[in-house]
Amino acid sequence: MPDTQKTLVLLKPDALQRDLLGDIVSRFERKGLKLVGMKFIRLSDEMLDEHYAHLSDKPFFASLKQFMMQTPVVGMVLEGYDAIGEVRKIVGSTNPREADAGTIRADFSMNVPSNLIHASDGEEAAAAEIKRFFQDEELFQYEKITDRFIFGEGI
Would you call 118 a catalytic residue per the annotation? yes
Q: Is 64 in the site for ligand IDP (CB under 6 A)?
A: yes
Minimum CB distance to ligand IDP smaller for 107 or for 121: 121
Q: Is 65 in the site for ligand IDP (CB under 6 A)?
A: no
Distance in angstroms between the alpha carbons of the first and the last residue of the chain:
6
Minimum CB distance to ligand IDP smaller for 96 or for 151: 96
Per-residue interface string for the shown chain with ligand IDP, residues 80-119, x marking contact by CB under 6 A: --------------x-----------------xx-x--x-
Q: Are 48 and 68 in contact (CB under 8 A)?
A: yes
Minimum CB distance to ligand IDP smaller for 39 or for 88: 88
Transcribe 17-71 into DSSP letters.
Answer: HTT-HHHHHHHHHHHT-EEEEEEEE---HHHHHHHTGGGTTSTTHHHHHHHHTSS
Minimum distance of ligand IDP from residue 5's CB (angstroms):
17
What's the CA gap between 49 and 45, in Å, rounded? Answer: 6
Q: Are 68 and 13 in contact (CB under 8 A)?
A: yes
Residues of this chain that interact with ligand IDP (CB under 6 A) are: 55, 60, 64, 94, 112-113, 115, 118, 121
Just list the catalytic residues: 118
